[in-house]
Structure 1
Amino acid sequence: MKPKEIPGVPQQKSGGFHDTESKKQFDDPELNKQKFSVLKKRFFSVNQWREYSGAFTADFKLYDSKGKPLDRSPEIDDYIRIDIPGPGEKEAKGYDWVQIVNISSHHTGSLERISITCRPSKIPGNSENNRIAHFYSSKATSTFMISNNGKEIMAAIYGRNESPNFNASFIDKIRNIMVGIGGMMGISKIQWKALSDGLLDF
């Protein structure tokens, strides 16, 4: 199976990948519009994502470049702290970090598409440690996307170029290999599917 080629999603070059999508159809145009408006509010409420995906899934929190928590819509160069179930990065106090590298919005005719692309990053505000604090290397990306074609709305997460992060301490390197390989084998897709389904659970 090949990765889907989708505008706004980085090209797959090496490592693992996944295409995780959830869809809902609404025959009533007005109801479709209302539901997509709700979805957009949920999509930009990163700190509440766990409320939609469920208690036993990853927790997401938005931070600025200095490592201070944010309570607003995400912007390019913001960071997201991820707390996945199970052991986390020891150097990062149990968390994984990504930085938002792109936010795009595309609206043509009846199609509207919004995406947020993230890449594994260092810990914001920590000048003493420049290592990537994530189980994937900095080549990996995760693109969160919502779209509406007038009849069907979709929430999706697209992972690209996923390979374990070897630039870490010995203990974290072993953890990154285990979690990274598990993710590449599809375990992380269960988490992403919970999020995409949850965002569409009206």
Structure 2
Amino acid sequence: MKNHIPDQHQGGKLDTTAIARFPSEEEAKAFYQIAKSRLLNVSCWAEICKVPLSTFTLTDKDGHEVIREAEPGDYLKIDIPGPGTYTGEGFDWVCIEKVDEEINDKSSAITLQARPSANPTAQSSSIAHFFTSQATSTFQVKQTGNTVSAEEHGRNEVPNTDTSHLTDNIRNTLVGWTAKIGLSYPQWKSLVRGIVETNLS
């Protein structure tokens, strides 16, 4: 299997994993399909989080909401607690740059990678997110033997403090700082746990 996680060069990083174990490999393979669907149906992430600190809306390349599985080139419109950005019209935006699945006889894995982006509904090319475009969030669901895991890997998380709006710079500094000291961890830990929750209705 390829290593889809970018190298860490600057800023903060975050890694979180949750694992479900099954009596047999066949049951794990069946559950992998469920976990994979939960990962790709981004608009349902808030529902499976027991600590839904943010809400996520999947949009197409023009910023229009879509109800389907995520695809490369789509965007996530993120509503986090507190004031949003002027650039993002109240939201933080990331672009899904990769959805890649690998399957062989022994294991399966799907990777969804997102990167801070401009607001697709606006003319501005400024990054509408509290991190710079160097940051990435890599989400993975893996099945190996009788286990299924869900993971989130944040890399190169540097606060976006060089926008043309002073209020955005201040807000991004504060949000980026809280993320850097680990306050984003409960969100992602809750998400990966929800993705592999076997009793989720």
Query: TM-score category by the smaller chain?
Result: over 0.9
* Deviation of 1:20 (Å): 1.0
| 1:58 counterpart (54, 57, 81) | 54
**Cα-to-partner distance string for 1:65-112 (whole Å, 9 max, x where unaligned):** 111111111111111111112222133232100001111112233111
- Listed as ranges, the gaps of 5+ residues in structure 2 are none
Aligned residues: 196
| 1:152 counterpart (117, 142, 147) | 147
Find the aligned partners of 1:85 and 1:55 in 2 and give their Cα distance: 12
Q: Which residue of 2 aligns with 1:133?
A: 128
Q: Which residue of 1 aligns with 2:71?
A: 75
* Deviation of 1:55 (Å): 6.2
Find the aligned partners of 2:182 and 2:65 in 1 and give their Cα distance: 30
Sequence identity (%): 36
Counterpart contact for 1:147–1:155, Cα < 8 Å = yes
> Which secondary structure does the structure 1 equivalent of 2:65 belong to?
coil
Residue identity matched to 1:50: A
Q: Which residue of 2 aligns with 1:163?
A: 158
TM-score (normalizing by structure 2): 0.92
Counterpart contact for 1:132–1:167, Cα < 8 Å = no
Residue identity matched to 2:104: T
* Deviation of 1:34 (Å): 2.4
* Deviation of 1:31 (Å): 2.2
Find the aligned partners of 1:11 and 1:108 in 2 and give their Cα distance: 25
Counterpart contact for 2:27–2:146, Cα < 8 Å = no
| 2:93 counterpart (90, 97, 112) | 97
* Deviation of 1:123 (Å): 0.5
Find the aligned partners of 1:63 and 1:149 in 2 and give their Cα distance: 32
> Which secondary structure does the structure 2 equivalent of 1:18 belong to?
strand
Find the aligned partners of 2:17 and 2:139 in 1 and give their Cα distance: 10
Q: Is 1:28 matched up with 2:24? A: yes
Q: Which residue of 2 aligns with 1:3?
A: none
> Which secondary structure does the structure 2 equivalent of 1:180 belong to?
helix
Alignment root-mean-square deviation, CA? 1.4
Q: Is 1:114 matched up with 2:110? A: yes
CA shift in 2, pair 1:75/1:56, >3 Å: closer
Find the aligned partners of 1:112 and 1:79 in 2 and give their Cα distance: 25
Residue identity matched to 2:125: N
Find the aligned partners of 1:55 and 1:189 in 2 and give their Cα distance: 11
Find the aligned partners of 1:17 and 1:109 in 2 and give their Cα distance: 32
